[in-house]
Amino acid sequence: MITRLLTGGEAVAHAMRQIDPDVVPVYPITPQTPIIQTFAKLVADGGAHTQIVNVESEHSAMSAAVGSALAGARTITATSSQGLALMAEIVYIAAAMRAPVVVALGNRALSGPINIHCDHSDSMLIRDSGAIQLFVENAQEAYDVMLLATRLAERPDVLLPVFVCQDGFTITHSAEPVRLLDDDDVHAWIGAYEIPFPLLDTAHPTTQGPFAMPDYYYELRHQQVDAMAHALDAIEELGAELEQLNGRRYGLVEEYRLDGAEHVLVCMGSTAGTAKDVVDQLRDEGEPVGLLRICSYRPFPEARVRDALASADEVIVLDRADAPGARGPLATELAAALYGSGMELRGHVYGLGGRELHPDDLREIFAGDVGRFVGLRGAACLV
Amino acid sequence: MSRLKTLVRNEAGVPPLGAGHSLCQGCGIPLVVRTVLDSIPGRKVVVNATGCLEVATTRFPTTAWNVPWLHVAFENGAAVASGVESAYRALRARGAIEEEITFVAFAGDGGTYDIGMQALSGALERGHRFVFCCYDNEAYMNTGVQRSGATPFGASTTTSPSGSVGLGKLQERKDMTAIAVAHHVPYVAQAAASHWQDLSIKAQHAGAAFGPAFLNVLSDCPVGWGHEPREFKRILDAAVETRFWPLYEVVDGAYRLTYEPAERVPVERWLEGQKRFAHLLHPENADLVRHIQRRIDADWERLLALC
Amino acid sequence: MSGLTLKTWQELPTAGVVTRHEELRPRTGAYRTGLRPEADLTACVDCLLCWLYCPDNAVLLDGTAFAGIDLEVCKGCEICAEVCPTGAIEMVAE
């Protein structure tokens, strides 16, 4: 193992070098660009054998990725925001066609207005696509989860595209010490790429991507529901297996100081890092608070969440995306998961378009001293 | 020189596209598919954009295809093919595959000229080794005969209908073949389903090219064009004889006419017998027909100058 | 397609990937509306044009010789009758 000072984007590129995917079709967009630039340089210096395909749009990136993955080649790509929006059509299809593509996502706000900074609206756009979405808290986790995601995507009982989601700029562009595994350990972890029906197996020709009428569409799609259910177990199993290698345990959720916690904050991404510090401060002051970080957003770990929050009195959900005309997506998931429990639940929207959330904001959130839209200038509309 | 017996032997009893599909009675597409795929030796893998061919041949749980076949979406035929071809190169490089495979992408004019153009342009620019074959029936036929960028001037379609006021599509169609040539790829050709030998030779050249090859093949649609299926050859022959649809190839940028009509045939021969052009043949629209003729004449002179 | 038992989601192939099965071939001969092609073998010269031009792969071959028309899939488009250079194929009432 070696420790290097890396941004989240660079950490992902190093993970990719060690995974050595066959094909990486990719199109640039801020803040994912350090990923593909770092990786391209690593390949140019002989670090991997990857065919990098510099496509002419993100829609083509995901299209080429599906073609490549189903042909029989390990395939990774990266995008953010508008790029994800443009490829969204194909993300649904990748999931339906069971193409195990890994996508490094630099979470960035969706236009409009156009904004290059972090929020989770791009992830929310594809929440029903059937793709797995794993959120990370920091650059170390971005590296770790790229390795986990590759195994997860390719598990025969899963076979779904997996998005590794890291906050744009906050993680993609912020450097921290990252422990990298040895190349040999990663090769052994990753193993060979195998799918049930490689298109290039010309001795056994297959038709892939059929036209389905009402008599079959529903059942064909239900296979994806089943695959997502298997992913819940797979994420935990692979997290435990990876812990044997790197000493860190990734899972469906992260419970932080939930013992005796009466007020629990729920959030995703880098904000959890700040929130842990605030939880520590408040605990020192005698406040019974804790944090539940959602790591796997899709599949949403409903049962795990209910168990983790069983003894809380109040759940405070932070959404880094809004949904005009409805409640925040994560708050809605939590409300559904906790329905009937009698728990108090309040949801907040924060951090849109890269608006920073400071420790003081979190203190106020815990105390219940803020409206639903944290930091908004002007009275919030609550319709 | 191509012989039908060679095509039969290349099929080896297993047609790439078999029977039982739900393409229309007399559809022109299977002829293009059979001619192209049977003319290229060795293993083929087909990528198909959404459209008539894709929908009608793969209604789950059946398929009419006997070759590996992949469909993802409408606008990305060339992008999907790029991914498949890149995977092939990667797998060959690491010794996981040894056999030679030719990749052939099929798309209609919609999936080539319009919604598919961006992906096609990118794939051509990047130099992937594959054949992109457009079966050009000059409208979005699968969804009900709507106009496309390939629809010729004056054609009546369901979104550019002729009527008491309307005169059909008023825009000229794109020269997609020229657009492909502008990408500086090894092989580009314009062909017609009716001229199977010419198409067969072009398919062979396309398959052998060391880089992207683009085939633009005029293919009739009895429903969309408004004619009896059995008229297909007479009509497509007229397209070629009137020089509405010249047959040529461009090899590394060098133009070559592959068929020169012996006589100058007026465009009316192409327009007649197709309901989509019927309004043009009314006397009050003679100006439109003259316009079409002038365009054909000018385009022909321009093409000859390039050859 | 009638008489086919519809499968459960577990029974269906993953992602709807299929391989061609001749026994599942739809009988597109049902498209015909009263006429079918009939071949006069004495006039046939095995030029194979009908084989090539048939959109439905309905022309059966024995090696490279014409061997008949598969009426289970022939849609009655009449293209074979039209292109046959010797007039060996005619459309006749069913």
Question: What integer is the mean pLDDT of C20-32?
Answer: 92
Q: Do A268 and A301 sit in the same domain of this protein?
A: yes
Residue A192 lies in a domain: no
Question: What integer is the mean pLDDT of A5-10?
Answer: 98
| pLDDT band for position B244 (cuts 50, 70, 90) | very high
Contact C18 B60 (CB under 8 A): yes
Neighbouring C-beta atoms of residue B95, cutoff 10 Å? 7
Provide the pLDDT for residue C59: 97
Provide the pLDDT for residue C21: 87
Residues of C in contact with A196 (CB under 8 A): 14, 17
Please check whether residue C35 touches B, CB under 8 A: no
Q: Do A8 and A133 sit in the same domain of this protein?
A: yes
Residues of A in contact with C16 (CB under 8 A): 208-210, 212, 216, 220
Concatenated DSSP letters of A36-62: HHHHHHHHHTTS---EEEE-SSHHHHH
What is the enclosing helix (H) or strand (E) of B199?
helix B196-208
Tens of pLDDT, residues A14-68: 999 999 999 999 999 999 999 999 999 999 999 999 999 999 999 999 999 999 9
Longest dimension (CA), chain B: 67
Q: What percent of chain C has pLDDT over 70?
A: 96
Contact C78 B229 (CB under 8 A): yes
Tens of pLDDT, residues A255-294: 999 999 999 999 999 999 999 999 999 999 999 999 999 9
Q: How far apart are CA B13 and CA C52, in angstroms?
A: 13
Reading phi first (left if > 0) and then psi (alpha if -120 to 50, else beta), residue A59 is in alpha
Residues of A in contact with B119 (CB under 8 A): 56-57, 59-60, 63
Q: How far apart are CA B275 and CA A53, in angstroms?
A: 45
Provide the pLDDT for residue C4: 66
Chain C residues in contact with chain A using a Cβ-Cβ cutoff of 8 Å: 6-9, 12, 14-20
Q: Do A240 and A288 sit in the same domain of this protein?
A: no
Partner residue facing B70 (CB), from A65, A70, A212: A70
Tens of pLDDT, residues A189-227: 999 999 999 999 999 999 999 999 999 999 999 999 999
Q: Distance from C43 to chain B by nearest Cα, in Å?
A: 19
Q: Do A158 and A282 sit in the same domain of this protein?
A: no
Residue A333 lies in a domain: yes
Provide the pLDDT for residue B86: 98
Domain that holds residue A359: 254-367
Tens of pLDDT, residues B101-158: 999 999 999 999 999 999 999 999 999 999 999 999 999 999 999 999 999 999 999 9
Provide the pLDDT for residue A383: 62
Q: What percent of chain A has pLDDT over 90?
A: 99
Residue A258 lies in a domain: yes
Over the Cα atoms of chain A, what is R_g? 20
Query: What is the dihedral sign for C-alpha A261, A266, A269, A272?
Result: negative
Residue A356 lies in a domain: yes
Q: Do A233 and A309 sit in the same domain of this protein?
A: no
Q: What is the CATH number of the domain that holds B149?
A: 3.40.50.970
Q: What b-and-e string marks burial along A58-87, b requiring 16 or more CB atoms within 10 Å of the CB?
A: bbbbbbbbbbbbbbbbbbbbbbbbbbbbbb
- How many domains, in total, are found in chain B? 1
Say whether pLDDT at C1 is over 50: no
Quick one: which of A167, A94, A78 has its CA closest to A132? A94
Tens of pLDDT, residues A231-264: 999 999 999 999 999 999 999 999 999 999 999 9
Domain final residue pick, A246, A273, A296: A246
Q: Do A129 and A237 sit in the same domain of this protein?
A: yes
Please check whether residue A97 touches C, CB under 8 A: yes
Provide the pLDDT for residue C2: 52
Question: What integer is the mean pLDDT of B83-92?
Answer: 98
| Domains defined for chain C, CATH in brackets | 27-93 (3.30.70.20)
Q: What is the CATH number of the domain that holds A268?
A: 3.40.50.920
B-interface mutation test, from A20, A27, A56, most B Cβ less than 10 A away? A56
Residue A315 tokens, joined: 């759940």
Q: What is the mean pLDDT of chain B?
A: 97
Question: What integer is the mean pLDDT of A131-155?
Answer: 98
Please check whether residue C81 touches B, CB under 8 A: yes
To the question of pTM greater than 0.90 for the whole model, the response is yes
Give SS3 for A340: coil
Q: Do A162 and A32 sit in the same domain of this protein?
A: yes
Question: What integer is the mean pLDDT of A76-98?
Answer: 98
**Alpha-helical segments (H) within chain A:** 8-19, 33-44, 58-71, 81-96, 121-125, 139-154, 183-190, 217-246, 271-284, 302-308, 329-337, 359-367
- Quick one: how far is CA A109 from the chain centroid? 15
Tens of pLDDT, residues A152-164: 999 999 999 999 9
ipTM of this predicted complex? 0.97
Q: Do A260 and A298 sit in the same domain of this protein?
A: yes
| pLDDT band for position B24 (cuts 50, 70, 90) | very high
Q: Distance from A69 to chain B by nearest Cα, in Å?
A: 8
Please check whether residue B91 touches A, CB under 8 A: yes
Partner residue facing C20 (CB), from B18, B22, B230: B18
Quick one: which of C4, B264, B72, C65 has its CA closest to A208? B72
Contact B18 C64 (CB under 8 A): no
Provide the pLDDT for residue A381: 84
CB C48 within 8 A of CB B8: yes
Q: Parallel, antiparallel, or unpaired for β A76-79 and A263-267?
A: unpaired
Residue of chain C with shortest Cα separation from A208: C17
Q: What is the CATH number of the domain that holds A66?
A: 3.40.50.970
Q: Do A238 and A270 sit in the same domain of this protein?
A: no
Q: Do A224 and A280 sit in the same domain of this protein?
A: no
Residue of chain A with shortest Cα separation from B82: A64
CB B99 within 8 A of CB A203: no
Residue A190 lies in a domain: no
How many A-C residue pairs are in contact by the CB < 8 A criterion? Answer: 46
Phi/psi of residue B134, each to 5°? -95, 125
- Using CB atoms within 10 A of its CB, is residue B14 exposed (0-12), middle (13-18) or buried (19+)? exposed
Q: How far apart are CA B267 and CA B285, in angstroms?
A: 14
Residue B232: HSE in the Cβ half-sphere, 13 Å Cα cutoff: 32
Residue A96 lies in a domain: yes
Residue A103 lies in a domain: yes
Provide the pLDDT for residue A15: 98
Q: Which residue has the tokens 């044009």?
A: C49
Chain B residues in contact with chain C using a Cβ-Cβ cutoff of 8 Å: 4-5, 7-9, 15, 17-23, 25-31, 34-35, 58, 60-66, 196, 222, 228-233
Q: Do A109 and A17 sit in the same domain of this protein?
A: yes
Tens of pLDDT, residues B179-200: 999 999 999 999 999 999 999 9
Give SS3 for B184: coil
Q: Do A242 and A117 sit in the same domain of this protein?
A: yes
Provide the pLDDT for residue B1: 67
Q: Distance from A150 to chain B by nearest Cα, in Å?
A: 17
- How many domains, in total, are found in chain A? 2
Domain that holds residue B151: 4-306
Q: How far apart are CA A74 and CA A51, in angstroms?
A: 11
